[in-house]
Structure 1
Amino acid sequence: MISPRRVTVVPGGPVLIEGPVEIEVDGMVHASDRFVVALCACRRSKRYPFCDTSHRRRMRRDVEPERHDDSR
């Protein structure tokens, strides 16, 4: 019996999959033998389908920017 792979969805981040894995995207197969593989969920990665942390540069919409009071 084959053990199931664990998939963890990180809110605002990548999808983590226990490896090794083969991922098929648009007919191309990408392989990784790492013990955990981070797949890009935002499609900003230059290494798509693998995550390169490009999602970190995106500004979060649920957080308002800090306001500074310059009236002193």
Structure 2
Amino acid sequence: MCVKIQLKFQVEPNVKSMNKGDCFILDNGRDLYVYIGPSSKGTEKLKARAAANQIRDQDHNGRAKIYMV
């Protein structure tokens, strides 16, 4: 599952779905990867980190590692 933070919807987990102005979270079932686009706004960056923490805590019982990429 790949989640685009700006509008909070799921996109296909491939590079073509991503852009430099948004933030995305990839959940591979074990770990979370947070992509912070270099042109993303400060609030988007904060929301991406908060969303990743929430997914880790609620969906992975706090056990998933979060990688910022």
Higher share of residues assigned helix: 2
TM-score w.r.t. the length of structure 2 is 0.28
TM-score w.r.t. the length of structure 1 is 0.27
User: Larger radius of gyration, structure 1 or 2?
Assistant: 1
